[in-house]
Amino acid sequence: MGGVISTFFPLETIRPILSFVRGEAKYIWGLKGDLDDLLTQKENLIAQKEGMLNKVMFLLNQTLYTNSFKQQQQPRNRRTPTVELWFRRVEEIETKVETLQQERDQEIDRLCLGGFCSKDLISSYDFGKKVENLKEEVIKLKKEGEAMKEVYGSVPEGAAVEIAVERTIVGQESILDQVWRCITDQEKNNGIIGLYGMGGVGKTTLLKQVNNKFCSDEQHHFGVVIWSVVSREPNLKQIQVDIGKRIGFSTDSWQRKSFEERASDITNTLSRRKFVLLLDDIWESKIDLTKLGVPLHSGSKIVFTTRFQGTCGKMRADKKFQVSYLGDEVAWDLFQAAGGFSFDSHSEIRELAKTMARQCHGLPLALETVGQAMAGKEYPEEWRRAIEIISASASKFEDMEKKVLSRLKFSYDSLPKDELRSCLLYCCLFPEDSEILKTDLIEYWKSEGFVDSNSGWGVLGALVRACLLEDGGDHVKMHDMIREMGLWIANEIEEEEENFLVRAGVGLTGAPKIEEWEGVKRISLMQNKIQSLPQIPTCPRLQTLLLEYNRIEEITESFFPSLPSLRVLNLSGNHYLTELRVGISSLVSLHQLDLSHTHISGLPQELKALVNLRYLNLEYTHEMSRIPEQLISSFSKLQVLRMLFCGSNHRPIVEEGNVLSDDAESLMKEIHCLEQLNLITLSLQGSRGVENFLKFPKLQNITQSLSIEHCNSLPLNLLHLANMEHLEKLYIEESNLEDWNVDCAGEVQKMRKLHSILIWNCSNVKDLTWLVFAPNLKCLRIHCDDMEEIISVEKLSEVSEMMGELNLFAKLEDLWLESASNLKRIYRDPLPFPQLKQIDIMRCPKLKKLPLNSSSAKGRKIVIRGERKWWEELQWEDQATQNAFSPCFIAYEY
């Protein structure tokens, strides 16, 4: 018999059969029933877990609701450790059951003979045993859960969890205090608070200090403070997890819930308590707090940091604070603290260290990085070498590329368009601390092809809102460390695309070697002392060459032909430059040519070859005496023509072939032919010159600055000025203003863009009451013997009836009165002067009183310059006025 059995069944099959005979076959026979029973027990366990969670949340929220009325910090409540362990074990069992369920179908298919046998007995046996054991664990856990009595308890923990801070805040204590007041002030509705500023200024450190202040200051009314880092690509689930951990949702099963379910749990918990949510490093994408489940109810606060000023608007911040770089003294304190310097090793090191600290330009991140790198350096030679390195290129200094510039580059990388990045890098061409005029910068961008006529201001606004440029009114500034970042990107990160040669404002007496010019795309040598240029540079890719304010006397014929791709050439401010060689005609790609503030006496006829020219600046070329006929009109693509004070030192008679003449007739006709022209500045001589200008209404509509000289009978009147809607600057010299009055006030519209006016040596002018039509006047300069008062009360009353309320000089910043020997008053009554910065009075002996009282220029520190005798005889409204303005006086020294 045994032989028969061994013949039909292999040995490896006999052993499991014997096991079945001993009673273990139940793991196969009962497999289907055991699986169904396991699933039922699991569902019961989950139901028990959910019931316990509801019980915990009910009791916890009931406690929180009670505490919220006590207006003081209460101990936090959370699940007991026993309950936490039970929940973790339940989650582990859930995972195991889910794994078995994935194998269920495969194991059921192996069963045969009505479920009493298996095609793979060993596998089915092992699986059945796992099912049985797991079912027993589930039943055991369920019984343990039923036996639990205390499900939550008080935990001696504060509202916030302290966060390690790399450094203490230095120089930003006032911002911390202001933010803290906004958070703790229950009366003001500052529910959302934004902290914005460029990378590296210490926003995160400041926010961490806010968090930690809740650990040390018990005088607040918040139950919980929540910290979460958002970063460039926001992970909304992770933000929910960070919130959940602080309010009791720390289990894996909760994290596996859907986004909407987690949001609902967060809302149900936070809606009954006062909380502070700290969100670090929000970028340009708005974070939808309500979608996360964060209720925006009264009493709770959200504080966030961002590199983008515009994000404060997107997040609808009730209050925003700019975190800026540090002043010199505070920066020095931080630099010393970062390096732990004692300065005992050598007497020179303290001053060298101060120089080194200044190279960090007040950026806390740079101060820390450089300070730490210089720690332990005891020899002056080490410091001098380090100063040389960081002055030449910050990216070459130890750790600057890794710890500072690369972090600043995040802001550059986040810019949504290539044109924004190109426009930002272009700003690196200007010297450190430069105030870059917005209008000039946009013209550069247009000439380079980065922007068109409509997008320049939008790009400028985007860079300011990204805290990569600083807005200064009519100009912008680039922080020196952002500039270093830009040069690093241009020359090392994007070497093939950009490659700049920048030696702006560094005191060069000679141009860089020709080898340095090769292959460069943009060169800036502005504000140096360069007298000559290399004769034949090799620059086939060069698009911008900025040479303004040097001492260049001559440019050789062979220089320009080597620049076939040049789009921008700026030679302004080279006062020794008297001639423009015809070789410049080879620059056929040129879009922008700036010859302003040079002594060039004439333009060559060959300039006609510059058919792509869009911008030509000839302002303040006082020595200009000849511009050939048909030259200006040949620039058919010209959009901007600046000729203010062009040829003002010469009054040439009508000369054949020259458009510069007193009557300006030929010039006006040529300018009028330029169909794409949208901005001009002009200087007109004599009555005929003005008359010829007035023949072309189109030119009046695009005039931005206008100078008029030597008009015995000025044909221009207020109505003409009112029609020049883009006029910003007006200069009238050596002319007769007898017919200028306010009789036509009913027809005159306000000249809203006019902000600078100079009236110089004009006769028959008793007053300038017509200035009330220029409500945005910022600068007023007057030099007229016949003038008796600036604003006539009698004439003003006539204007007031027609124009309504007048805020005289509401925008005036600079008032200059000189050699007005008959001037008795500026205006009868005191004026507020809310924007006034300075007053200059010279040789005005009859002016005995200024239109000031103790409330004028309130809150502003102004400067008043004049002769000491005049000041001592000045009459004041009262003693309070004299006391207020006595510290403002500065005497002229002759």
Look at residue 234 and tell me whether its pLDDT is greater than 90: no
Pick from 777, 809, 841: which residue ends a domain? 809
Query: Residue 789: inside a domain, yes or no?
Result: yes
pLDDT greater at residue 108 or residue 879: 879
- Number of domains forming the structure of the chain: 5
DSSP per residue over 799-830, as a string?
HHHHH----TTTT--EEEEES-TT--BS-SS-
Question: Per-residue pLDDT for 466 more than 80?
Answer: yes
User: Which residue, 155, 183, 209, sits at the end of a domain?
Assistant: 155
**What CATH number does residue 733 fall under?**
3.80.10.10
What are 715-736's pLDDT values in tens digits?
888 888 888 999 999 999 999 8
Choose between 601 and 85: higher pLDDT.
601
pTM for the full model? 0.74
Q: Determine the pLDDT at residue 22.
A: 46
Same domain, yes or no, for 290 and 353?
no
According to the model, what pLDDT value does residue 33 have?
64
Does the pLDDT value for residue 781 go beyond 90? yes
| Percentage of residues of the chain with pLDDT beyond 90 | 44
**What band does 9 get if pLDDT is binned at 50, 70 and 90?**
very low
Position 848 scores a pLDDT of 95
Question: pLDDT at position 433, please?
Answer: 84
The CATH number covering residue 178 comes to 3.40.50.300
Per-residue confidence (pLDDT) for residue 3, from 0 to 100:
43
pLDDT average, residue stretch 97-107: 68
Asked whether the predicted pLDDT for residue 76 surpasses 70, the reply is: no
**563 and 430 co-located in one domain:** no
**Of the residues 128, 155, 182, the one at which a domain ends:** 155
**DSSP letter string, 59-72:** HHHHHHHHHTTTTS
Spell out the residues 6+ positions from residue 818 whose beta carbon is closer than 8 angstroms to its own: 781, 782, 783, 840, 841, 842, 843, 844
For residue 310, being part of any structural domain is answered with yes
Whether residue 219 is predicted with pLDDT greater than 90 in this model: the reply is no
Are 55 and 105 contained in the same domain? yes
Encoded tokens for 534? 């290399």
Given the structure tokens 């221009």, which residue do they identify? 716
Helices 173-184 and 203-216, axial angle in degrees (round to 10): 50
**Which domain CATH number covers 427?**
1.10.10.10
Q: Are residues 608 and 728 in the same domain?
A: yes
Lowest-confidence range among 59-73, 290-304, 745-759?
Answer: 59-73
Question: What's the pLDDT tens digit per position in 318-328?
Answer: 999 998 888 88
Assigned domain for 220 exists:
yes
- Whether the predicted pLDDT of 50 surpasses 80: no
- pLDDT per residue as tens digits for the range 174-203: 889 999 989 888 767 778 999 999 888 888
The DSSP bridge pattern shows strands 470-471 and 475-477 to be: antiparallel
pLDDT on residue 1: 38
CATH number at residue 361: 1.10.8
In a domain, 303, yes or no: yes
- Is the pLDDT at 111 greater than 80? The verdict is no
pLDDT band at 121 (very low <50, low <70, confident <90, very high): low
Q: Identify whether residues 531 and 671 lie together within a single domain.
A: yes
Q: Give CA–CA dist 537/557, Å, rounded.
A: 12
One domain for residues 599 and 476: no
Give pLDDT tens digits for 563-573: 999 999 999 99
Q: Is 399 domain-assigned?
A: no
Model confidence at 107, in pLDDT bands (50, 70, 90)? low
Q: Whose CA is closest to 621, among 638, 596, 603? A: 596
**Which pLDDT does position 624 carry in this prediction?**
94
Range among 100-114, 243-257, 665-679 with highest mean pLDDT value:
665-679
Residue 889: beta bridge partners? 864
Mean pLDDT of the chain: 84
DSSP single-letter state for residue 773:
G
Identify the pLDDT of residue 872.
94
- Give the tokens for residue 461: 């606004």
* Between 663 and 135, residue with greater pLDDT: 663
In this predicted structure, the answer to whether residue 6 has a pLDDT above a threshold of 60 is no
- The arithmetic mean of pLDDT across residues 323-350, rounded, is 82
141 and 184 belong to one structural domain: no
CB 394 within 8 A of CB 369: no
More confident residue, 702 or 662: 702
- CA dist., res. 267 & res. 254, Å (int): 14
Tell which residue, 798, 747, 746, has the closest CA to residue 769.
798
Is residue 804 pLDDT above 80, yes or no? no
> Helices in 252-379 by DSSP H: which ranges?
252-255, 259-270, 289-292, 309-314, 328-339, 349-358, 364-373
Please tell me the predicted confidence (pLDDT) of residue 154.
Answer: 44
The tokens describing 499, both together, are 């490659």
Higher pLDDT, 639 or 92: 639
Q: Which residues contact 413 (CB under 8 A, 6 or more apart)?
A: none
- What is the rounded distance in angstroms from the CA atom of residue 276 to the CA atom of residue 213? 12
* pLDDT reported for residue 572: 98
111 and 208 in a single domain? The answer is no
Contact by Cβ (8 Å): 742, 799: yes
Question: Is 792 domain-assigned?
Answer: yes
- pLDDT tens for 430-454 read 998 899 999 999 999 999 999 998 8
d(CA 699, CA 682): 10
Given this model, what pLDDT does residue 11 score? 45
In a domain, 548, yes or no: yes
- Do 645 and 558 have their domain in common? yes
Does residue 578 have a pLDDT over 90? yes
Let me know whether 609 and 466 are in one domain: no
Task: Provide the pLDDT confidence category of residue 594 given band limits of 50, 70 and 90.
Answer: very high
Which residues form the domain of 369? 328-392
Same domain? For 241 and 143 the reply is no
Tokens of 893: 């020294």
Q: What is residue 364's predicted lDDT score, i.e. its pLDDT?
A: 83
pLDDT bucket at 330, cuts 50 / 70 / 90: confident
Q: 430 and 335 in one domain?
A: no
Return the pLDDT at 122: 63
pLDDT band of residue 66 (cuts 50, 70, 90) is very low
Judge contact between 162 and 291, C-beta under 8 A. Answer: no
Per-residue confidence at 273, pLDDT binned at 50, 70, 90? Answer: confident
pLDDT at 67 > cutoff 50: no
pLDDT at 391: 77
* 224 belongs to a structural domain: yes
| 150-174 pLDDT tens trace | 555 444 356 888 888 766 667 778 8
Q: Which residues of 317-326 are buried (b: 16+ CB within 10 A; e: fewer)?
A: bbbbbbbbbb
The pLDDT tens digits for 728-759 are: 999 999 998 887 766 655 566 788 899 999 99
